[in-house]
Amino acid sequence: MKKIKKFWCLMMILFIFITGCTTSGIHLFTVKLTGEIRDNSILNQPIKGVQIVDYTGKMLGVTDAAGQFLVEATTDKGVINLSFQHVDFETHSLELVVDGKSTHSIQVPTLYLKPAGEKISGRIYRQLITPEVVFQTTYATSAQKQMTLFDSQVVQGEYNLVIHEDKKWLIELLRDRGKIIYDSHKGFYTIRLNPDVDSFELVNELEKSDVVEFITPNYLVETQGNVAEPENELDLWNMQMLDMPTVWEYSTGIGVTVAVLDSLHTSAHPELVNMLPPPVDITGEGENLYLNGHGLHVAGIIAAVRNNVGVVGVAPDVSILPIRVFDRTEIASISSVVQGIYQAIEAGVDVINMSLGAIRLGDPAYDFPDLHTAIKDAYEAGIVLVAAAGNSVYGNLLYPAAYPEVIAVGAVNIYGERAEYSNYGPGIELMAPGGDDQTAPIVSTGWDKTEKYGYAAKYGTSMAAPHVSGVAALLISSGITDPDYIRLILRETAIDMDYPGYDLKTGYGLVNPFAVLHRFEHSYVFFGSVEAGFAQVRSQVIQVEVNGSYELFGVRPGPGRVVGWIDMNANLLIDSGDYLGESTELEVISGNMLTDVDVELNLVPGEFCAIDIGVIIWEQD
């Protein structure tokens, strides 16, 4: 009897154990899995030969030529752990939770694998070369003139010079003959001679000295804007011409500082809230609202905020550093402008806008070496320099626009034509809205005698330059900070005007903000080669970043080149009209990373045999 009871007890325990195990899901069951595997490049090509492996290391199957798979996996815990392995791609792990009671098959979402291999980084670019031009002087007829020709005069008794000697040397030389009124602490000085001193004799003495690089009179510059009466006070045709509302979806200038060398000192204008304290006043005029006029207008074109009131600037979130260099006559000395430039350098600004200029009509080739010294220092400091071409309608640019370090900006009217007053000639680079008095001026922030702050209408290359300064700020905010590269992008994205290509009337054309920020749309790189009508690829094909840079991962060891390509017509064909280029021959070694591999792109000629990038086959080892 005891044996029978013992037997039934054992049977009961076994029954409970088996039942419990079954209800706990420990029993084995099989699930069918289907799916697709592609690479994570812009082409998302199917990957053949990917091994699907379970948690025990057992291979369940491989993908076919279409990247598809159908495998069966067995589990006893309601969880399936798989890994997807391929020699050219990083291993991808996947965990699936299944219900053994009802699940018999699962459609796995498409998987995208990252290529395995080495890394190459660099950038792509299109090199533009300014045509060589002959210096010329072409004066306007009286019928063309809309503004008075400005012939730079001098500040009597004042001179600018650069010396390669201690300051004490200059102090001693000027003893009882004059004094230093400005010291840049970089070797640049402005001196003022006593009225009874023979300036010719002293200047001659300095010119002969080995420690003096140059000495020149302290010439004057003037603003390049004129007051107009608009028919519609708040007609912002300039922003519409440049399609700024669309551009602001991509960049508004956050984190960028633009120095405005002008008449603006301080502003309580509700449209200019991003002013950086403390303001810089080179003139010593102090707080005088009336003096703000020209500079206030220029600053508004760059940075008036988006508040659904009044006007708006090209880069509404940019910060403005006002540097007053003009006195109440809107005339400034070269020394004042130089001081303003050095103040901007010290402040670490990103862009300097100079809606001003000077020229000696009797000697238009005279290049104001004192001003050029400061300009070169600003350029070396990595600052984008923008200046007005001039309003005198003759075939030479004013300085500083004429310097090679500066982006010279001419003006267009509401119809997109070069304004009749806009200077032209060697060095003209870009055009931008400047308006005129006959069709429509530029409306921006201004000063009103009654309301103190309101809106004003002006026209001139003074108004054109800040449009380009604003676009440069948008580009910097997007991550591109190299001044030469910014200049290259502005040139090659400009809308061509006048004669095809670069010309002396309109330069490279009308500044094009949207194209500037989308210059590398449909731009790709890969490692391999392009020849004989087909492409060999040893990496993924990736989209280039907005600033032209790239990081190419998954490069298989071996020889090859980085291929850069801009698909101008977005048809995924390398064909005529696109831009294509290759780096020098590279040897990719396992464990190594290649950096600064730049690729220059050239226009694909008409006879080029088109390559269908959509059917590129990965080269097999």
Catalytic residue ranges: 262, 294, 462
Q: Which residues contact 159 (CB under 8 A, 6 or more apart)?
A: 190, 191, 193, 199, 203, 215, 216, 217, 218
* Residue 599 Cα distances to 38, 379, 568, angstroms: 28, 25, 17
**Sign of the alpha-carbon dihedral angle for 265, 269, 271, 275:** positive
Burial of 148 (0-12, 13-18, 19+ CB in 10 A): exposed
Nearest of 490, 358, 404 to residue 135 by alpha carbon: 404
**Helices marked H in 312-424:** 334-347, 369-380
Nearest of 161, 512, 447, 423 to residue 294 by alpha carbon: 447
Query: CA–CA separation, 538 vs 551, rounded Å?
Result: 14
**Helices marked H in 482-603:** 483-493, 513-517
Burial of 360 (0-12, 13-18, 19+ CB in 10 A): middle
Q: Which residues contact 93 (CB under 8 A, 6 or more apart)?
A: 81, 82, 83, 84
Nearest of 543, 621, 526, 533 to residue 582 by alpha carbon: 526
* Run of H or E including 21: helix 2-24
Query: CA–CA separation, 191 vs 179, rounded Å?
Result: 6
What token pair was written down for 317? 């979130």
201: left (phi > 0), else alpha (psi -120 to 50), else beta?
Answer: alpha
Query: CA–CA separation, 488 vs 21, rounded Å?
Result: 72
Q: Taking a C-beta distance cutoff of 8 angstroms, is the pair 73, 56 a contact?
A: no
Nearest of 35, 82, 26, 23 to residue 56 by alpha carbon: 82
Q: Which residues contact 241 (CB under 8 A, 6 or more apart)?
A: 414, 416, 433
Alpha carbon distance, N-terminus to C-terminus of the chain: 77
What token pair was written down for 67? 């990247």
Query: CA–CA separation, 539 vs 528, rounded Å?
Result: 7
Decide: helix, strand or coil at residue 235. Answer: coil
**Count of CB atoms situated within 10 Å of the CB of 513:** 26
Quickly tell me which residue has 């591109």 as its tokens. Answer: 480
Q: Which residues contact 16 (CB under 8 A, 6 or more apart)?
A: none
Decide: helix, strand or coil at residue 343. Answer: helix
**Count of CB atoms situated within 10 Å of the CB of 34:** 12
**Helices marked H in 268-419:** 293-303, 334-347, 369-380
